[in-house]
Amino acid sequence: MTYKEKIDKSKLPSHIAVIMDGNGRWAKQKGNQRIFGHRNGVTAVRETVEAAAELALSFLTLYAFSTENWQRPQIEVDALMSLLVSSLHDETPTLMKNNIRLTAIGDTSALSADVNKELQATIDKTAKNTGLNLVLALNYSGRWEIIRAARCIQADAAAGKLKQAMSENVFAEYLTTRNMPDPELLIRTSGEYRISNFLLWQLAYTELYFTPTLWPDFRKEDFFKAIVDFQQRERRFGKTSEQLEQYESSQNQ
Ligand code: IPE
Ligand code: IPE
Ligand code: MG
């Protein structure tokens, strides 16, 4: 039985977030430059997006470039940006074919004009698609997002536009992920056990899944395997196991 067949279609997460990690190590293992790993990571992106679309998930968020990644050697940053431009260009027809809508979170204003032009073109072209929402985290960091929200709240308060008392719901409206559910599942590849400044607010109760597989080797079945693992977990949200069982049995009566 494949992992895809093992998935319970009635209990799918609506939002999966992925930290795509391990491109550099994958290339090094093969005696190649880091950029070779990034190029091969594009296949894993395609597989993951297709897998999410096949399951009719609502949201897939991919961490593609963090605010910290600017600190990498300039040659690698440039290569990542040109890879982003060419991938957006080459993959847009596939996004259209699969009814996928692309959006981006992060400080995209700091990306080059070339990147912004291609990104905006794909966002505009796919805007009316109604299937999977593919969200690229570009020049994103969780702390940047929270500070940005705080500044927007400050500005709205000063302008007398903040009518309600602050609450989790009001605060979440100021995040770049407004209108998106929090991820139920976070996948990180390459055997690293950390969040790396990704979706700090939104991951509060997310199930975390770590795999040693390096990103360029990640395929549909790896994605489905993570979902099967997720479906075997008990999400308690602070309650006890017994409380959840009681609730389940009252629902089944
Ligand atoms: C992930 O792979 C890609 C980006 C962060 C852009 P890495 O480039 O971080 O690969 P490792 O972690 O060095 O192996
Ligand atoms: C996290 O990966 C960022 C992305 C996947 C875009 P990194 O490889 O940059 O993370 P750290 O620096 O090792 O934590
Ligand atoms: Mg890394």
Amino acid at 65: F
pLDDT over 90 percentage in the chain: 97
Ligand 1 test: best mutation among 18, 25, 78, 198, most atoms within 8 Å of CB? 25
14 lines ligand 2 (CB under 6 A): no
Torsion of CA 109, 112, 116, 117, to 10 degrees: 140
* Percent with pLDDT over 70 in the chain: 100
Q: What is the dihedral of CA 199, 202, 204, 207, to 10 degrees?
A: -80
Q: From the CA of 190, give the closest atom in ligand 2.
A: 8
> Torsions phi, psi of 36, nearest 5?
-60, -40
Task: List, in sequence order, the alpha helices (H) in the chain.
Answer: 3-6, 23-29, 34-54, 74-97, 113-126, 142-158, 168-172, 220-231, 241-252
pTM: 0.97
| Domains identified in the chain and CATH numbers | 13-252 (3.40.1180.10)
Tokens of 134: 């593919």
Pocket perturbation via mutation, ligand 1, pick of 21, 193, 215 by most ligand atoms within 8 A of CB? 21
- pLDDT tens column, 48-86: 999 999 999 999 999 999 999 999 999 999 999 999 999
pLDDT of 104-156, one tens digit each? 999 999 999 999 999 999 999 999 999 999 999 999 999 999 999 999 999 99
Q: Specify the DSSP class assigned to residue 206.
A: P
Beta-carbon contacts of residue 253 (< 8 Å; ≥ 6 apart): none
Residue 216 Cβ inside 6 Å of ligand 1? The answer reads no
Ion ligand 3 neighbours, Cβ < 5 Å: 21
Is the distance from the beta carbon of residue 69 to the nearest atom of ligand 1 less than 6 Å?
yes
